[in-house]
Chain A
Amino acid sequence: MIATARKRTGYLLILPAAVWLAIFFVVPFYSLLATSLYDPEGSVLTGYDMTWHFANFWTALSEYGGVMLRSFWYGALATLFCLVLGYLLSYAIAFKAGRWKTVMLVLVVAPFFTSFLIRTLSWKLILADNGWVVNTLQAIHILGPEGRLLATPVAVIAGLTYNFLPFMILPLYTSLEKIDPKLNEAAADLYSNPFTRFWKVTWPLSLPGVVGGTLLTFIPATGDYINASLLGSPNERMVGNVIQSLFTTQGDYAVAGALSVSLMVIIITMVLVYVRRAGTEELL
């Protein structure tokens, strides 16, 4: 009797969330899928006809396949840089910060309360053609005298790395923090070299954080278009730029839908393969 009552309470408690997500998250996927098969000849004003127009996918991928590839490439590079920087910082917080741990963790999150757009715009100033970064790089001949950073892939990838760093740090820190320091001591007895110690003990134990962090970085970074718009030129256009302009300015819903569905399918496939290979299915 009590068991059924508790079960019913359980259902009642999750009901609002389940309904909300069903209507505004699951059903929209269906609408998106339908949109991707509309007759591309329609418009927002006249309405679209559902014609199972699979050719939309062909149009989307043949026209924007290069942009899609670039997005994954930029996303992957940004994720890699985030992993290196984020690992260093999370490791320092988890093992070296001592009583400053909480303070440092707060400091990691705090800058991100300033609007994402405002912070990205300030990179425009940092990387500007006459800024000190460009001047320094020109002085030490890493950049040519006409070289620039703004409106290049470097600026876009740097912006992505900066913007998604906390998504890497928080999961990494969570899994590093769980590691018992005694294991490091034991490892120190086994392996004399600190690098071997790291590879054989700390790194494998931090893998759930690495997988979680790379996913939380890679997925939004690949779909982002703010960095590409503000810091890049049309040559650095990412798939997000295309989808949003097809939807909002060009009003080409059918191809935009097809492109959006393709992006989602590719990302889900990549995530599943990645999680399988890393052996961390329990994350899902």
Chain B
Amino acid sequence: MTRIGRWIGSHLVLAGGILVLLYMYIPNMIVAVMSFNDSSGARNLYAFQKFTWNNWLHPCAPEGMCSSLVTSIEIGLLATFFATLIGTFAAFGLVRHKFAGRSLMNLVLFLPMATPEIVMGSSLLALFVAAGLGGHLGFVTILIAHIMFCISFVVITVKSRLAGLDGTLEQAAMDLYATEWQTFWKVTFPLVFPGILSAALLAFSLSFDDFIITNLNSGQTVTFPMFVWGAAQRGVPMQVNVIGTVMFLVALAAVILGEVGARRRRKAIAAR
């Protein structure tokens, strides 16, 4: 009896967990289905009308959508590059070096993650306006904002990778007469690299998806989330769902490839 009870108990939790996971996928399934929706002439844009391949064949048909996508990708790549660079430096500094003001730095890095986006966005806007840049909001101000909020996430990701690093490997390299520089590039960097890569991925997705801070500091520049927002007031073109589905598939593929790569590397190391 108790054994049956325990079996049910343990599988009930797993079943519950899987249900929660399914709940998280409902919107993605809807987005995928709606990407095949023919909405032409329909009054209600939030219901499936008729099947069509058209949205997938002509993804750039809605005016301004693909140019906003390009803007978002440009900003995303630039913000990722700078935030990953700055953040990785800071993570090394914080983990590998002891200096006064470290805890203050940790606090300043933690705060952006604990500040509501609306507050961060409005204070940046206040700064830009006070600096006389109120009329020059656009690509550059969005980029500045994105680098700002991505840095913290890069630092914590790289920091956790660095903290879990086995220091004896570096000592071994030094014992084998590697210089500090060689040790860094041949031992430390390759070991930290997966952490840097996932930090960059995180930074890109944060930048690409940001709406609240961007909306306040964008001027006339339109990013993809802003295009969706603007379109939502009139009725979203179905091609938006195509983009959403593609983004999901690309991200899934990237994560799966990364996981397969990591497994293969582990196996290769084990086989040695």
A and B bound?
yes
A residues with a Cβ closer than 8 A to B are 6-7, 9-14, 16-18, 20-22, 24-29, 31-32, 34-35, 44, 85-86, 88-89, 91-93, 95-97, 102, 104, 106-126, 128, 130, 162, 165-166, 194, 215-216, 219-220, 222-226, 230, 239-240, 243-244, 247-248, 253, 256-257, 260, 263-264, 267, 271, 284
Q: Check A122 against B30 for contact (C-beta < 8 Å).
A: yes
Q: Check B209 against A256 for contact (C-beta < 8 Å).
A: no
Q: What band does the interface of chain B fall in when counting residues whose beta carbon is under 8 Å from A? A: 35 or more
Nearest chain B CB to A162's CB is how many angstroms away? 7
Q: How far is the CA of A253 from the CA of B127 in the complex (A)?
A: 12
A10 and B127 contact, Cβ closer than 8 Å, known pairs A89-B17, A111-B28 = no
A225 and B118 contact, Cβ closer than 8 Å, known pairs A111-B248, A114-B244, A128-B46 = yes
Q: Does B77 contact A (CB under 8 A)?
A: no
A244 and B126 contact, Cβ closer than 8 Å, known pairs A25-B120, A119-B28 = no
Q: How far is the CA of A116 from the CA of B31 in the complex (A)?
A: 12
Q: Check B212 against A124 for contact (C-beta < 8 Å).
A: no
B residues with a Cβ closer than 8 A to A are 9-11, 13-14, 16-18, 20-21, 23-28, 30-31, 34, 46-47, 85-87, 89-90, 92-94, 96-99, 105, 107-120, 122-127, 129-130, 134, 144-145, 147-148, 151, 155, 205, 208-209, 211-212, 215-216, 224-225, 228-229, 232, 236, 240-241, 243-245, 247-248, 250-252, 255-256, 259
Sample of 18 more A-B contacts, CB < 8 Å, known A97-B14, A256-B122: A16-B89, A20-B151, A31-B123, A31-B130, A32-B122, A44-B129, A92-B17, A111-B24, A113-B248, A113-B252, A114-B251, A115-B225, A119-B31, A125-B34, A223-B117, A224-B117, A253-B126, A264-B119
Contact partner of B212 (CB less than 8 A), chosen from A34, A109, A225, A253, is A225
Residues of A within 8 A of B115 (CB): 219, 264
Q: How far is the CA of A116 from the CA of B90 in the complex (A)?
A: 29
Q: Check B14 against A243 for contact (C-beta < 8 Å).
A: no
Q: How far is the CA of A111 from the CA of B151 in the complex (A)?
A: 23
Contact partner of B127 (CB less than 8 A), chosen from A27, A88, A247, is A27
Q: Check A16 against B90 for contact (C-beta < 8 Å).
A: yes
A126 and B26 contact, Cβ closer than 8 Å, known pairs A7-B98, A92-B17, A240-B118 = yes
Q: How far is the CA of A215 from the CA of B134 in the complex (A)?
A: 33
Q: How far is the CA of A166 from the CA of B24 in the complex (A)?
A: 9
Contact partner of A117 (CB less than 8 A), chosen from B134, B205, B228, B250, is B228
Nearest chain A CB to B268's CB is how many angstroms away? 18
28 contacts between A and B (CB under 8 A): A11-B99, A13-B89, A13-B90, A16-B85, A17-B90, A18-B90, A25-B148, A44-B129, A85-B23, A86-B20, A91-B13, A92-B13, A92-B16, A92-B17, A96-B13, A111-B248, A114-B247, A114-B248, A118-B240, A122-B30, A122-B31, A125-B46, A125-B47, A222-B116, A223-B118, A224-B117, A247-B122, A257-B122
Nearest chain A CB to B172's CB is how many angstroms away? 20
Nearest chain B CB to A199's CB is how many angstroms away? 15
Contact residues of B: prevailing secondary structure: helix
Q: Which of B34, B86, B245 has the most CB of A within 10 A?
A: B86
A31 and B21 contact, Cβ closer than 8 Å, known pairs A14-B89, A21-B109 = no
Q: Check A25 against B28 for contact (C-beta < 8 Å).
A: no
Residues of B within 8 A of A102 (CB): 259
Nearest chain B CB to A170's CB is how many angstroms away? 11
Residues of A within 8 A of B151 (CB): 17, 20-21
Q: How far is the CA of A123 from the CA of B125 in the complex (A)?
A: 31
Residues of A within 8 A of B111 (CB): 25
Residues of B within 8 A of A14 (CB): 89-90, 93-94, 105
Q: How far is the CA of A128 from the CA of B45 in the complex (A)?
A: 11
Q: How far is the CA of A17 from the CA of B109 in the complex (A)?
A: 9
Q: Check B148 against A244 for contact (C-beta < 8 Å).
A: no
Which chain A residue has the least Cβ–Cβ distance from B149? A25
A18 and B14 contact, Cβ closer than 8 Å, known pairs A24-B127, A122-B31 = no
Q: How far is the CA of A123 from the CA of B232 in the complex (A)?
A: 13
Q: Check A240 against B248 for contact (C-beta < 8 Å).
A: no
Nearest chain B CB to A116's CB is how many angstroms away? 5
Residues of A within 8 A of B122 (CB): 32, 243-244, 247, 256-257, 260
A25 and B259 contact, Cβ closer than 8 Å, known pairs A111-B25, A122-B27 = no
